[in-house]
Amino acid sequence: MNTKLVDSLAQAILSLSEDERFLLSEKLDIESKLAPALKQLDKTATFTKLVKQWREENHGVSSTNQMSMHPAYQQIIGMGEAAIPLLLRELEKKSGQWFWALKSITREDPVPLEHRGKTSEMIKAWLEWGRAKGYIC
């Protein structure tokens, strides 16, 4: 730790007027309140980048195993619970290629046996699951 810097900052803060210290504390408080939102934006940007890479590098691939083992797909799984609402949104918008990732992260499978293999029914089951669990408004 740079103790000289800490001492200098402490002295600078102490030299501020009461109003200036209040404004500084408000600014720091606002930034701490924004931190979770900024973190989520970062996760969303990472997710979007990985999805784009995965789509580009799997264009024309038909093997679910090969697509699911792609490094970008695996990194999405590695994002854990933060990826769940993003994956559900992808399901809603694009396709059902995210079932493996959702099952890996959640350790659940809300799709009834009779609907397995029917992409639209599988998407419907996952979206209903997402709503019930609070991942989708």
In this structure, is residue 11 part of a structural domain?
A: no
In this structure, is residue 106 part of a structural domain?
A: yes
Q: Of 7-16, 50-59, 63-72, give the lowest mean pLDDT range.
A: 7-16
Which pLDDT score, from 0 to 100, does residue 96 have? 72
Residue of 103, 77, 87, 89 lying closest to 137 (CA atoms): 89
Is the distance from CB of 110 to CB of 74 less than 8 angstroms?
A: no
Q: Which domain holds residue 47?
A: 40-133
In this structure, is residue 5 part of a structural domain?
A: no
In this structure, is residue 112 part of a structural domain?
A: yes
Burial 13-30 (b: 16+ CB within 10 A, else e): eeeeeeeeeeeeeeeeee
Q: What is the pLDDT of residues 99-119, one digit of tens each?
A: 999 999 999 999 999 999 899
pTM exceeds 0.85: no
Which pLDDT score, from 0 to 100, does residue 38 have? 67
Is the distance from CB of 137 to CB of 111 less than 8 angstroms?
A: no
In this structure, is residue 115 part of a structural domain?
A: yes
Total tally of structural domains belonging to the chain: 1
Which pLDDT score, from 0 to 100, does residue 8 have? 76
Q: Which tokens sit at 35?
A: 């931190």
pLDDT confidence bin for 34, thresholds 50/70/90: low
In this structure, is residue 26 part of a structural domain?
A: no
- Indicate left, alpha or beta for 40 from its phi (over 0: left) and psi (-120 to 50: alpha): alpha
In this structure, is residue 24 part of a structural domain?
A: no
In this structure, is residue 16 part of a structural domain?
A: no
